[in-house]
Amino acid sequence: MSIWFNNQFPLGYVNERAAHCLNGHLGIEITEAGDDFLAARMPVDERTVNPAGVLHGGASIVFAETLASWAGSFVIDAARQQCVGLEINGNHMRPVPAGHFVTGEARPEMLGRRTQIWSVRVRTESGKLVCLSRVTLAVLEKPSAY
C-alpha cells in the first residue's frame, strides 16, 4: 500500500520545481518513488566537496533533508497542510571522493498527524553506507488567507 497522499509521487514535478533552488544547485535529482520510499542521487563534485576533495558532511545533510522533506510533503494533503523541518542529525561513516555520485533513500519511521520521522541512508555507488540521517518534520496546517 502506498504512503503517498494521491497514491503516486510526481517525480517530474519535483525535479522541475527544484531546478532553481539549492537542490538544483547541488545537482540533486529525485530518481524513484516506491510505495514506501523516495530515492535520489547527488554528484560529488566542486559543489558538494570540502577542501580535502571529499563529500562535505553538510552536503550529505542537505541531501537527507531534501529527500525527507519532499517525501513528507507528498504524504499529507498539501492543499491543507505543509511540512517543515524540525530536527535533523547525521552520522558520517566514510568519505566519498570527487568524481562519484551518492544515492539516498528516505523511508518513514513514523507518519503521525503532527510529526513525521524519516530515516535517510546515503550510500556510495557500490552501496556502502556514507551517512545515516534521521529527519523529523512538523506537519502544520496552512494558514488561511489574510
Catalytic residues: 65
Structural contact between residues 108 and 36, judged by C-beta atoms closer than 8 angstroms: yes
- Record the cell numbers describing residue 43, joined without a space: 554528484
E strands along the chain, which residues?
A: 29-33, 38-44, 81-92, 100-111, 115-123, 129-141
